[in-house]
């Protein structure tokens, strides 16, 4: 592996050292806030980059200064031999911060393999601890297997965080329940404000951070600890010592320290979660052209926008499907 001193810096002085890689857009859930209700077609398998081709770009990114890689989807565990892909990355750079986001439905049978391959951390989506509510959100009976997957991840030694999207009229009465479930297991929970997008159901109303904090304070008084370096999560410390986070994509803080770019399974390199603009590394890695892939990476970093268009002032709704990029 070459020297990793070269840093990727965008036009606004932000060091970009975090790559989120979607290995599939397919998902075994149909969550209300993410997936369209009407039938739609998945990208044909032959259009996806192979793990070997994705890894070719991973090496370029790592050599240019990427220090953290997160595997996402869709649901990444739907892609066969994912542990082998993780091992490719780990073997090339053992000190890379290698993480994954999953719904955990298939995690019980794969957690040990993923840990052995080099995965270090995992984020799991839990929007409800009530089976009927979880089923209503995911359009599938999922809760038992999700919780089994989470417990298995803890058992094999993976570091776990939980993500929850609070929605009014759906799961807002479980905010404290999910927090207490995580407290009992020494897991950090992060509440994510619902991100409007054209693929979600139209009647969803998310909770804002002010509403969340007021509700939590009724039982758990807390203090503001601010942000952890470049993390998008705003953290708070309860008086009992427990720490939780809130992710607020509508606020400028979400973008100010953004250090992320995203790669889709088809090879589209995306500078911003919100923007539809992207450049493709597909042809370059198919040819094995490392130099061209590196040029695309640097151009995407150079053109990374200062902020998204989610702010309340701009009032735009994203047309990007989050199941393509994993959020």
Considering the domain boundaries, does residue 1 fall inside one? no
Considering the domain boundaries, does residue 43 fall inside one? yes
Q: What is the DSSP letter of 155?
A: H
Token pair recorded at residue 112: 């040990």
| Residue-wise pLDDT tens digits, 65-114 | 999 999 999 999 999 999 999 999 999 999 999 999 999 999 999 999 99
Opening angle at CA 34, ends 248 and 69, nearest 5: 65
Considering the domain boundaries, does residue 178 fall inside one? yes
Q: How many helices (H) and strands (E) does the chain have?
A: 11, 12
Considering the domain boundaries, does residue 211 fall inside one? yes
CATH for 200: 3.20.20.70
pLDDT score of 202: 53
**For the chain, what is the domain count?**
1
Residue from 136, 81, 86, 147 nearest 116 by CA = 86
**Which helix H or strand E contains 176, and what residues bound it?**
helix 175-184
Residue from 149, 147, 101 nearest 121 by CA = 101
Considering the domain boundaries, does residue 220 fall inside one? yes
Q: What is the mean pLDDT of residues 8-22?
A: 93
Task: Tell me the C-alpha distance between 77 and 75, whole Å.
Answer: 6
Considering the domain boundaries, does residue 3 fall inside one? no
Considering the domain boundaries, does residue 8 fall inside one? no
CA distances 3 to 7, 59, 61, 64, Å, are 11, 12, 12, 8
Strand 260-263 to 268-270 pairing: antiparallel
Q: What is the pLDDT confidence band of residue 117, given thresholds at 50, 70 and 90?
A: very high
pLDDT score of 249: 78
Of 89-98, 126-135, 248-257, which gets the smallest average pLDDT? 248-257
In sequence order, which ranges of 65-142 are alpha helices (DSSP H)? Answer: 82-92, 111-117, 131-138
Half-sphere exposure of 318 (CA within 13 A, CB side): 27
3-state secondary structure string across 284-322: HHHHCCHHHHHHHHHHHHHCCCCCCCCCCCCCCCECCCH
User: What residue numbers bound the domain in which 161 lies?
Assistant: 18-325
Considering the domain boundaries, does residue 12 fall inside one? no
282 pLDDT exceeds 90? yes
294 pLDDT exceeds 90? yes
User: What strands, in cross-sheet order, belong to the sheet with 222-227?
Assistant: 222-227, 233-238, 243-247, 188-192, 159-164, 121-125, 97-102, 68-72, 18-22, 260-263, 268-270, 279-280
């Amino acid at each position: 592996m070459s020297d990793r001193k070269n840093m990727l810096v965008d036009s606004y002085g932000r060091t970009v050292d975090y790559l989120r890689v979607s290995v599939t857009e397919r998902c075994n859930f149909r969550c209300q806030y993410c997936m369209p209700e009407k039938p739609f077609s998945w990208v044909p398998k032959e259009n996806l980059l192979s793990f070997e081709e994705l890894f070719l770009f991973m090496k370029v990114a790592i050599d240019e200064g990427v220090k953290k890689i997160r595997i996402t989807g869709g649901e990444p565990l739907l892609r066969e031999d994912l542990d082998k892909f993780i091992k490719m990355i780990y073997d090339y750079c053992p000190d890379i911060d290698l993480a994954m986001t999953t719904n955990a439905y298939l995690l019980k049978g794969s957690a040990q393999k993923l840990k052995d391959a080099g995965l270090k951390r995992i984020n799991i989506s839990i929007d409800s601890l009530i089976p009927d509510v979880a089923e209503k959100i995911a359009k599938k009976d999922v809760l038992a297997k999700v919780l089994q997957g989470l417990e298995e991840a803890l058992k094999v030694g993976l570091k776990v965080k939980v993500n929850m999207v609070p929605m009014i009229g759906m799961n807002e009465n479980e905010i404290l329940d999910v927090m207490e479930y995580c407290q009992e297991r020494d897991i950090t929970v992060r509440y994510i404000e619902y991100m409007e997008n054209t693929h979600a159901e139209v009647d969803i109303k998310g909770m804002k951070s002010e509403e969340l904090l007021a509700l939590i304070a009724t039982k758990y008084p807390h203090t503001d600890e601010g942000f952890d370096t470049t993390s998008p999560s705003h953290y708070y410390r309860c008086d009992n010592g427990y720490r939780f986070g809130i992710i607020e994509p509508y606020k400028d803080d979400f973008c100010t320290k953004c250090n992320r770019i995203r790669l889709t399974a088809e090879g589209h390199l995306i500078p911003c979660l919100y923007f539809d603009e992207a450049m493709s590394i597909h042809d370059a890695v198919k040819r094995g052209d490392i130099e061209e892939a590196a040029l695309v990476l640097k151009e995407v970093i150079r053109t990374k926008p200062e902020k998204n268009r989610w702010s309340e002032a701009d009032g735009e709704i994203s047309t990007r499907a989050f199941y393509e990029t994993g959020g």
